[in-house]
Structure 1
Amino acid sequence: MGKSEVYFTNLRTNGNMNLLNKLERLVKKAGIENINFKDKYIAIKIHFGEPGNLAYLRPNYSKVIVDLVKNSGGKVFLTDCNTLYVGRRKNALEHMDSAYENGYNPFTTGCHVIIADGLKGTDEVLVPVEKGEYVKEAKIGRAIMDADIFISMNHFKGHEATGFGGALKNIGMGCGSRAGKMEMHSNGKPSVEAEKCVTCGACKKICAHSAIDFRENKKAYINHDKCVGCGRCIGVCNFDAISPTWDEANDVLNKKIAEYSYAVVNGRPHFHINFVIDISPNCDCHSENDMPITPDVGIFASFDPVALDKACADAVNKQIVLQGSYLDEQKHKHNHDYNDHFRNTHPETDWEVCIDHAVKLGLGNKEYKLIEM
């Protein structure tokens, strides 16, 4: 396999070329127009940002890609799946409210927002992963799998469990239904916080395995011998009384994300864009964002999500550490230097595990040719 092409543009502008112009020029140079969009459904996977976090991608960027697809005759929508954790994106109604609050609405982006796994995160498609070592059937949001073409727009930043969040993280974890996220994040089963349970019975009704019952205190109880860990009870509980275990080893989590990413893109046209800006140490799922750990780098695009993430990681690792950032604090706190900004930020995880596993699956190539515009 030859090197994959990754296209890059820096963030310098002038009176004749703003960042939106540069983004359009970049993706065209990278070959996005070679995809036949006419009369096809196109899902653009994006993270709408947990309210309170200001590092998420501005909706202006998505409009550039939406307009390009629509002008080519495509039927396009922006999408994400509901979260596993309790927050303002755990069901479709609050998720869409959050998206609108952060500027993602038809008037600013030119297309609709669809939450891919439905109202409560249970609308999914089981997608076989033939080469999967950990995942045999990925649970992907239905609207994402209904699309003919898949595009990801990704804010590249640090991540506490995977090292960094880029294309693979946004695709694999982001496209998983609630049950899919449960499978990736957890090696155990959900549990009930009795003090929050109001005995409404919604969890018992949705459980297909008769794993939930009510004890003498009239509080729900999950029998882990019967529970299969699907996570549907988490979605239907309106009182946030049911919580997952976050106990999967980071290396296994990274490999599962690679396998879910493979399930999403395999067998259909796909294209990916990474924005290496506002490189915060943690995920945009936080309701806050810390200061960046390095200076901004630019925008990258490729048909290969593996090469894309590798190129972005390499580019960030060439940057200086910003004084006063979390990374700066970590470097002074620990004596060991991994010569890697992401490992130094979160020493407990190794991002290369995901890259290497994705290569093994045939998802992409970590050898790349960087073409600068």
Structure 2
Amino acid sequence: MEKSKVYFTDMHVTYRENLQEKLTRLIKTAGIQNIDFNKKYTAVKIHFGEPGNLAFLRPNYAKTVVDIVKDLGGRPFLTDCNTLYVGSRKDALEHLSSAYLNGFSPFSTGCHILIGDGLKGTDEALIPVNNGEYVKEAKIGRAIMDADVFISLNHFKGHESTGFGGALKNIGMGCGSRAGKMEMHSSGKPTVEQASCIGCGMCAKSCAHSAITITNKKASIDHRRCVGCGRCLGVCPTDAVEPASDESNGILNKKIAEYSYAVLEGRPHFHISLVIDVSPFCDCHSENDIPIVPDVGMFASFDPVALDMACAEAVNRQPVVEGSLLSKQNHKHHDHFTNLAPDTDWKVAIDHAVKLGIGSKEYELITI
């Protein structure tokens, strides 16, 4: 089988070419113009960053991608789905406010922002996962599935549950609705935090399976009836409904691969990863630590699996930044991500994605 092509450039610039111009050259050299964008809705999936975290990608990079798509005749929009946890991006209004606070707007990026799973994180499309080991029907943000073309723009960094966050993490977890994220993180059975419940009954009204009852002004969920649809998560006004976090990291990684399959199957897609500010944790944190390795560069490919492999191996070739969290770990594994998060194996998602036919681990790295 022919190796997938992954294109790379470092972060060095000259007076003739700045970083945005260099990113444009990388993306075009990688062949994005081979996609038919003419009048096509194009979802550009990005992480807008949790307020307080400063490691997320700057909106300037998003504008570069958006400008290319528009030049090719496409109709791009930036998108992400609401978060499962309680933070500043759990509904579309807070999510948009967070994006604006972090510099993402139609004026700074040249396109509109659409939150993929709607106001309360319940606007989802149910997508079959052929040969899915754990997921038979993925719950993906509807706006993302309505797009004709899909592009992922990824900040490559560490992650405590998946080893690293790259293309597959940005696609699979990021495009899941709130209920989809619950399915990936748990067996899909939420509970009610009684102290926070005000007994309003909104969750019971939204449940199509009569799994929720209100007793003494408190809600409770019968797991024998609950099907894990997650509607109660979206409608609770006090965030009293909580998902379990009881899935093993290995299964979590496999579910992310299966959700990625649901997002990508059957339509053109392209992927860009920037290996800069490689923070030890996800951009979902409301804080970030110093990078664990020096900045590496920018990568692009039609194959998200090969892209993640190239980025991971590039990071593992880098020296550890002195004083970083990685520098304080036991380095017996000879793998930066395993040393940083020894309770998870990032290769599980890669191998499962290959099994599903998303892409290949074998790649040819082409430096421009």
TM range (shorter): over 0.9
Secondary structure of 1:262 counterpart: helix
Structure 2 CA distance, aligned partners of 1:13 and 1:219?
Answer: 60
Aligned-partner Cα distance in 2 for 1:156–1:232 = 31
What is the match of residue 291 of structure 2? Answer: 292
CA distance in 2, matches of 1:243, 1:99: 25
Q: Is 2:262 the partner of 1:267?
A: no
Is residue 359 from structure 1 mapped to residue 354 from structure 2 by the alignment? yes
Partners of 1:2 and 1:93 lie apart in 2 by: 45
1:370 aligns with 2:345: no
Name 1:164's counterpart in structure 2: 164
Identity %: 70
Aligned to 1:349: 344
Contact 1:188 1:247 in 2 (8 A): no
Cα deviation 1:130-168 (Å, max 9, x = unaligned)? 111111111110001100000000000000100000000
Equivalent position of 2:3 in the other structure: 3
Structure 1 regions of 5+ residues with no counterpart?
Answer: none
What does 1:179-190 align with in structure 2 at a 5 Å threshold?
179-190=179-190
TM-score, normalized by length of structure 2? 0.99
Instruction: Tell me which residue corresponds to 2:302.
Output: 303
Equivalences for residues 228-243 of structure 1 within 5 A: 228-243=227-242
- State yes or no: 1:144 paired with 2:139: no
2:266 counterpart letter in structure 1: G
Kindly provide the amino acid, as one letter, of the partner of residue 87 in structure 2: G
> What residue in structure 1 maps to residue 18 of structure 2?
18
Whether the 8 Å CA contact 2:188–2:227 is kept in 1: the answer is: no
Q: 1:40 aligns to what?
A: 40
Does structure 2 retain, via aligned residues, the 8 Å contact 1:106–1:112? yes
Aligned partner of 2:255 in structure 1 is 256
Q: Secondary structure at the match of 2:87?
A: coil
Question: How far does residue 188 in structure 1 lie from its aligned partner after superposition?
Answer: 4.7
Which residue number in structure 1 is paired with residue 155 of structure 2?
A: 155
Q: Which amino acid aligns with 1:103?
A: G
> Counterpart in 1 of 2:175?
175
Deviation, 1:61, is 0.4
- 2:329 match: secondary structure: helix
Q: Distance in 1 between matches of 2:334 and 2:155?
A: 23
Deviation at 1:257?
0.4
Partner SS for 1:23 = helix
How far the C-alpha of 1:214 sits from its partner, in A, is 1.2
Distance across 1 between alignment mates of 2:114 and 2:328 = 40
Normalised by the length of structure 1, the TM-score is: 0.97
Aligned residue pair count: 368
8 Å CA contact retained: 2:277, 2:291: yes
- Residue 295 of structure 1, CA deviation: 0.6
In 1, the alpha carbon distance for the partners of 2:6 and 2:277 equals 21
| Preserved contact between residue 11 and residue 298 of structure 2 (Cα < 8 Å) | yes
Per the TM alignment, residue 363 of structure 1 is displaced from its structure 2 partner at its CA by 0.4
Q: Which residue of 2 aligns with 1:133?
A: 133
* One-letter amino acid of the structure 1 residue matched with residue 358 of structure 2: L
The separation in 2 between residues aligned to 1:39 and 1:95, in whole angstroms, is: 27
Question: Do structure 1's residue 198 and structure 2's residue 198 form an aligned pair?
Answer: yes
Deviations 1:101-128 (A, max 9, x none): 1111000000000001011111111111
One-letter amino acid matched to 1:278: D
What is the CA RMSD across the aligned residues, in angstroms? 0.8
Residues in 2 aligned to 1:173 and 1:33: alpha-carbon distance in whole angstroms? 27
3-state secondary structure, aligned to 1:113: strand
For structure 1, which segment, 229-238 or 362-371, has the greater mean C-alpha deviation from structure 2 after superposition? 229-238
1:80 aligned residue: 80
Do residues 100 (structure 1) and 121 (structure 2) align? no
